Chains A and B, each alone.
Chain A
């Protein structure tokens, strides 16, 4: 079992470091789209997950709910990993 918290910490670090501008305040509850998350951000995020967790998130799972914030995203990834 992989813990959601572990994924959340990793995602937060990645998104802060490589996706959002330094001046954007990002927490686990930040609304990603409102903070400027766009389609290229999504590509980078999917690649990060593929590189670190070894799978491509199925397109049917890339929903507004899953991308609501980092916590929701981590929860989706944890579920997908634990289902594998």
Chain B
């Protein structure tokens, strides 16, 4: 099975239907399929072969979509590289994921032109990647410490299964027009692939300020919104008087939806915002589509074929959320750990602490890990500490997420300086050179010592309440 079959089936059924709109560019399904064929031929001629892992560092656009499907046509494995990554981060990602090349808008290093604005930089991984015989389509790189699991690998069949499962909840069809504003490097599978497989039209909104967004919704008669709480807050507080009568489904994603944003959005537009539990390892586990008013904080009941259980619940029914369902990831990449090795009696523990109410609605309460969620971008404290600790002015550091009313959490750091007269400005500048901008701590605080656990002496990391 190959995911291009989803696109080709839609293109054969509705060749003239509009697949993508990007400003003045309107691309039909037939044109998109044709474009991916031409790009695939070019990629093949440049030596990209089955199983090769290729990093894709492209901004949102028709080009991003076409290149992803073109890579799939030649059975390459797509590894998205977020545009905000620094060169140092791209080099780390390329080495950890054993990339054979990257596709970028500008020429870098030893490279060959794929198209006018696309260049293939060839890389030479120390050893060829081993995909363990799997029909891999996609790897999401997740940074972390050297001991953390890096990279979530998904096969073509896995992605197809999770897309079909998710659409039992979304019910996207060929009559839908999705107004899109999130970065494709972070959101692509149960969104863009799902929409194209269903024959929907995707409008790429260039900017997400309330009024241009509202204008795009009404100009294109958008039926589906898929955005972050941050975007919905701006829409909810718009005072232009604009309404969005064409919208039938508005999904809040990336981080917990504040109840007041959901309530304000509902009061303004009479559309209930729904949120779900979407995780790269599993796809869409749950969606709160059953009249979420009154339980805005819930991520809903299980979606598609998913089941949810609470492991070792306490007296209040709270425990670790475990899930099972279609389209669970195939393996972690570095080190390679197949999913079967992580399943406990057929269930996969998520690391989230939660509870189910009497009607089966899931509420997330906290996380077992210290990962920080800044407006939907995952930030790993250990990764940032590793960079900061390399600076000669720093003896050690502790990065943590501070709850933030509008963004979920923000990144802050406590630093123990190597000497009292060390300069924090140079540490900030060092972060700017080595970290994507959203990972740079908002606040740097100098402390004399870091809190440590009594038993192991490790830096103490409190579980963060969502």
> Is the Cβ of B231 less than 8 Å from the Cβ of A51?
no
Contacts of B442 in A (CB 8 A): 47, 51
> Is the Cβ of A56 less than 8 Å from the Cβ of B406?
yes
Q: How many residue-residue contacts, CB under 8 A, span A and B?
A: 55
- Check if B212 is an interface residue, CB within 8 A of chain A: yes
> Is the Cβ of A39 less than 8 Å from the Cβ of B437?
no
From B210, B212, B440, contact of A59 by CB (8 A): B210
Complex formed: what's the CA distance from A59 to B406 in Å? 10
Q: What's the minimum C-beta distance from A68 to chain B, rounded to whole angstroms?
A: 11
Q: List 27 A-B contacts (CB under 8 A).
A: A17-B432, A18-B432, A33-B207, A39-B181, A39-B207, A39-B208, A39-B230, A39-B231, A40-B377, A40-B437, A42-B208, A43-B230, A43-B407, A44-B437, A44-B438, A46-B406, A47-B407, A47-B410, A56-B406, A59-B233, A59-B234, A59-B236, A59-B238, A62-B234, A63-B210, A64-B212, A67-B209
Q: What's the minimum C-beta distance from B421 to chain A, rounded to whole angstroms?
A: 24
- Check if B307 is an interface residue, CB within 8 A of chain A: no
Q: Which of A48-79 contact B (CB under 8 A)?
A: 51, 56, 58-60, 62-64, 67
Complex formed: what's the CA distance from A19 to B432 in Å? 10
Contacts of B93 in A (CB 8 A): none
- Check if A13 is an interface residue, CB within 8 A of chain B: no
Specify the chain A residue showing the minimal Cβ separation from B431: A18
Complex formed: what's the CA distance from A59 to B440 in Å? 24
- Check if A38 is an interface residue, CB within 8 A of chain B: yes
Complex formed: what's the CA distance from A6 to B298 in Å? 44
Specify the chain B residue showing the minimal Cβ separation from A48: B442
Q: What's the minimum C-beta distance from B423 to chain A, rounded to whole angstroms?
A: 16
Q: 10 smallest A-B Cβ distances: which pairs? A: A59-B237, A60-B237, A59-B234, A39-B208, A59-B233, A60-B239, A43-B375, A47-B442, A64-B209, A33-B207
Chain B residues within 8 Å of chain A by Cβ, number: 31
Counting chain A CB atoms within 10 Å of each CB, the highest count among B209, B374, B443 belongs to B209
Which A residues lie at the B interface, using CB under 8 A? 17-19, 33, 38-40, 42-44, 46-47, 51, 56, 58-60, 62-64, 67
Complex formed: what's the CA distance from A17 to B432 in Å? 9
Q: Which of B262-306 contact A (CB under 8 A)?
A: none
Complex formed: what's the CA distance from A51 to B406 in Å? 14
- Check if B405 is an interface residue, CB within 8 A of chain A: yes
Contacts of A67 in B (CB 8 A): 209
- Check if B211 is an interface residue, CB within 8 A of chain A: yes
Complex formed: what's the CA distance from A75 to B35 in Å? 46
Complex formed: what's the CA distance from A62 to B237 in Å? 10
Counting chain B CB atoms within 10 Å of each CB, the highest count among A17, A56, A60 belongs to A60
Contacts of A59 in B (CB 8 A): 210, 233-234, 236-238
Q: What's the minimum C-beta distance from B126 to chain A, rounded to whole angstroms?
A: 31
Specify the chain A residue showing the minimal Cβ separation from B440: A18
Specify the chain A residue showing the minimal Cβ separation from B84: A40
Contacts of B231 in A (CB 8 A): 39
CB-CB under 8 A for A63 and B181, given A18-B440, A58-B237: no
Specify the chain A residue showing the minimal Cβ separation from B377: A40
Contacts of A64 in B (CB 8 A): 209, 211-212
CB-CB under 8 A for A60 and B238, given A19-B437, A43-B438, A51-B442: yes
> Is the Cβ of B209 less than 8 Å from the Cβ of A63?
yes
Complex formed: what's the CA distance from A42 to B212 in Å? 15
Q: Which of B351-369 contact A (CB under 8 A)?
A: none
> Is the Cβ of A38 less than 8 Å from the Cβ of B207?
yes
Contacts of B207 in A (CB 8 A): 33, 38-39
CB-CB under 8 A for A62 and B440, given A18-B432, A40-B84, A43-B230: no
> Is the Cβ of A56 less than 8 Å from the Cβ of B405?
yes
Q: What's the minimum C-beta distance from B55 to chain A, rounded to whole angstroms?
A: 19
Complex formed: what's the CA distance from A17 to B437 in Å? 11
> Is the Cβ of A51 less than 8 Å from the Cβ of B209?
no
> Is the Cβ of B238 less than 8 Å from the Cβ of A51?
no
Complex formed: what's the CA distance from A17 to B443 in Å? 16
